[in-house]
Chain A
Amino acid sequence: MKTVEEIKASIEAAVPGAGVEIVQNPGPAAQHSLLLTAEKAVEVAQFLRDDAELALDFLSNVTGVDWLDKEITEKVKVTRTVAKTVDGVEQQVEETVEEPRKRVEPGRLEVVYHLYSMSKKHGPVILRMRTGNRTDRVELPSMTPIWRAAEFQEREIFDLFGVVFDGHPDLRRILMWDEFKDHPMRRDYVEPDDYDYEPTPHDEVLAKAKAHQEKLAGTAQAAEGDAAR
């Protein structure tokens, strides 16, 4: 089977302006992946499926991944003017110092597709797509018109992560009920507070149960205060 670099070259030859990038996998599995742009993803996918040599006719797995905003602390060299006393005279001197700077890498949602070929019996080729952010730019093109296997899996990602797939024929919640508002697989999901009865709490659960008890005590006190008034 072709390497990721070769696949990238053939995609670029077939789909002009595809803008495919290679995402390295540093782990020992070394399953590198191709990052697609939302604009050209469907065209690239169609090429991968219909190309005689690659023939990636089988979409095995579709995964959503949530990447939170990441705060990166790095040292930046800064030149500044400082007032210093040199030889008894006050002077303005320039000096270079390393200063820690904090920069926030914006979070995003990512969708990963694992492709195999049933006719050629090779694989996997891994595709990735990324949304603009985690709140209002969460649209990505759907792969369901190319591979029907994506139908339920993309619905699941819409349900649990909140990625909106443009062109999906039937985009509804699949696992949770329709009235449900949250996207529970996101890493900042806040679960409903039902820690009223924890017979053997420990670690995280203990903290949550304690917080629940304190909240209960707080509301009871407030009610008492109201009654007194």
Chain B
Amino acid sequence: MSPVSFKLAEMESWNRPPVVEPHGEGELLEIAMGPHHPSTHGVFRMDLALDGERVVKLKPVFGYLHRNHEKLGEGHSYLASMPFTDRLDYFCSLTNNWAYALAVEKLAAQDVPERAEYLRVILAELTRFQNHASAIGFLLQEMGASGTPLMYAFREREKILDLFEALTGARMMCNYMRFGGCRVDASEDWLKQTRKVVAGLPAFVDEFEAFLQTNEIVMARCQGMGILRPELAVNAGVTGPMLRATGVNYDLRKVDRYGIYDRFKFRVPLGEHGDIYDRYMVRMLEMRESIGILEQALKDVPGGPVMDPKAKIRNFRPKVGEAYGRIEAPKGELGFYLISDGTGNPYRYRVRPPSLINLTVLEDMCLGQNVADVVLIFGSVDIVLGEVDR
């Protein structure tokens, strides 16, 4: 029956999770952590086998938030999928919009006016900032600092959400970008207000850093925990801050130079050890770089339209073909793969979810650690279930 006649080459041992032998002779304790667990960021489940407190097996279980995003995308027109992308990674709706718009623009060879590109960069960096701030807040929540650091992060997040709401009409589900530009133009007032908010962000980062960077508990629980090696990270397709914390210099804003990122000066923060602390530090430093990009972008936003006048909104039918577009979303590489058969709906609509693929190495990072640290390691991956399960 099978047409496949090859003998599978030996499985390379380093790219599989190691086998951890239990110490004693006691029985292993099997725990299903989740789908309802306060630290699983929603409805994620891990099936753990514990030897005392030590993790000897960890199998992630997905699908509790599988909302059939791809199937629905095939039943809708290209534009009608845009509001659904908001609900993928619901912390970062604007970067999701951008990734999808970028893929469709590739598919239909659509240009984007300069002002729209600037607005996209501004919104994407604001999104990155609030995502990283919240991610760090949640990480500390997992460490036992219940509420307080998260309140600091959400205070800043609310300011940014106010900007989103003023421009797009919604706090979280912005549905702002279109194929060939943006939906509405930003007023001079909005830009002024944004400059004001951005001017206040460095003080927040300073404050956050002063509280956390040299905090004894943060250092004791994060340093040397959940180490990920760079070879494994690359092989397992890990992207975003988690990859850069292992020291691999791969940021799509530099590699692909999509949009107008080649006009801005910014550095890519890299880690050295690939542990939780490095992931936390990379996010912290990326927040500072985001502020830098925001300041440069807000300085000279050009005039002009925000929508390409040649862009087709109604009856949008790209030519037969396919395209894969990707951007550096706050959580990693977010890609959209579209196949067009010439009709108004995509034939195949696929999302490459960074959160799901970053979890491939969860087991490798957690094996041999204590069960209390699993919560932290998991928190440092920074996932959103809407994107993991789609």
List A175-196 residues whose CB lies under 8 Å from chain B.
175-177, 184-185, 187
Give chain A's interface secondary structure class.
Answer: loop
Interface residue B29 (Cβ < 8 Å from any Cβ of A):
no
* Cross-chain contact B237 with A148 (CB below 8 angstroms): yes
Bound CA–CA A152/B237 (angstroms): 11
- Of the candidate stretches B170-178, B218-226, B302-310, B318-326, the one touching chain A is B318-326
Interface residue A39 (Cβ < 8 Å from any Cβ of B):
yes
User: Which residues of B are found within 8 Å of A177, using beta-carbon distances?
Assistant: 63
A173 to B, closest residue via Cβ:
B63
* Cross-chain contact A149 with B236 (CB below 8 angstroms): yes
* Cross-chain contact A114 with B337 (CB below 8 angstroms): yes
Interface residue B356 (Cβ < 8 Å from any Cβ of A):
yes
Interface residue A60 (Cβ < 8 Å from any Cβ of B):
yes
Give chain B's interface secondary structure class.
Answer: mixed
Out of B8, B107, B236, B333, which one reaches A148, CB within 8 Å?
Answer: B236
- Of the candidate stretches A3-11, A26-34, A221-229, the one touching chain B is A26-34
Out of B9, B250, B323, which one reaches A46, CB within 8 Å?
Answer: B9
Q: Contact residue range for chain A? A: 35 or more
Shortest CB-to-CB span from A132 to chain B, Å, is 6
Bound CA–CA A139/B4 (angstroms): 7
* Cross-chain contact B234 with A118 (CB below 8 angstroms): yes
Out of B5, B74, B326, B339, which one reaches A60, CB within 8 Å?
Answer: B326
User: Which residues of B are found within 8 Å of A137, using beta-carbon distances?
Assistant: 1-3
Out of B2, B63, B320, B333, which one reaches A176, CB within 8 Å?
Answer: B63
List B166-211 residues whose CB lies under 8 Å from chain A.
none
Bound CA–CA A59/B321 (angstroms): 22
Interface residue A112 (Cβ < 8 Å from any Cβ of B):
yes
Interface residue B335 (Cβ < 8 Å from any Cβ of A):
yes
List A155-182 residues whose CB lies under 8 Å from chain B.
166-167, 169, 173-177
* Cross-chain contact A112 with B337 (CB below 8 angstroms): yes
User: Which residues of B are found within 8 Å of A43, using beta-carbon distances?
Assistant: 6
Interface residue B80 (Cβ < 8 Å from any Cβ of A):
no
User: Which residues of A are found within 8 Å of B348, using beta-carbon distances?
Assistant: 63, 65
Interface residue B25 (Cβ < 8 Å from any Cβ of A):
no
Interface residue B71 (Cβ < 8 Å from any Cβ of A):
yes
A-B contact pairs, 17 of them (CB 8 A): A27-B318, A39-B6, A58-B237, A60-B352, A63-B348, A65-B348, A139-B1, A141-B4, A145-B9, A145-B12, A145-B15, A147-B236, A148-B232, A149-B357, A152-B62, A153-B356, A185-B70
Known pairs A27-B323, A118-B248, A121-B255; list 6 more (Cβ under 8 Å): A31-B323, A114-B352, A145-B8, A151-B236, A151-B360, A173-B63
The 4 lowest CB-CB distance pairs between A and B, nearest first, are A27-B321, A149-B237, A28-B109, A29-B323
Report which A residues bind B (CB closer than 8 A). 25-29, 31, 38-40, 42-43, 46, 57-61, 63, 65, 112, 114, 118, 121, 124, 126, 132, 136-137, 139-141, 145, 147-149, 151-153, 166-167, 169, 173-177, 184-185, 187
